[in-house]
Amino acid sequence: MISRTIPGYILAMAAAVNLAGAVKADGKQTSEQLCERGRILFSEERYREAIPLLLRAGRMGDRDAQTLLGRAYRTGKGVRVDKRAAAYWFGQAAPRGDSFAMYALADMYEKGEGGLRQDPVEAERLRNQARNNYGKKCCFLPNRPR
């Protein structure tokens, strides 16, 4: 009886490990996996470990990573404050439908931050788009369900 349950247990554990740390067929992690790990580290204030993962995920097109990078660069969490970098990352995530990025970018247009021209019309357009989009999947925000 034990010989039947141990192989099943081993297979179940192998499947669980594979799902928890799954990698693509070529051995590389997906942007979602990198972002999730980066998000956890970021929330634990382990910025030195989080930022490189988020950068990789953001470059791969993960909008949640892009938004979190925008927040990091705008506030200086884990990186030096860099409003241009913040505008860049928010600008990458906003067209992908991230409401937080849209609001943040709208605020930056309103103030003319990050190398963006001051443009109240664009700011209002982004705010309206964010309001219309808010019920859809949004980026990670601390203490808010995903």
Q: How confident is the model at residue 28 (pLDDT cuts 50, 70, 90)?
A: confident
d(CA 73, CA 22): 29
pLDDT in tens, 116-138: 999 999 999 999 999 887 655 44
CATH 1.25.40.10 fits 30-133, yes or no: yes
Domain limits, the chain: 30-133
Stated pTM of the model = 0.74
Q: Dihedrals φ, ψ of 94, to 5°?
A: -60, -50
Written as one letter, the residue type at 50 is A
pLDDT at position 15 over 70: no
What number is the average pLDDT over the span 3-29? Answer: 46
pLDDT in tens, 38-83: 999 999 999 999 999 999 999 999 999 999 999 999 999 999 999 9
What number is the average pLDDT over the span 5-24? Answer: 42
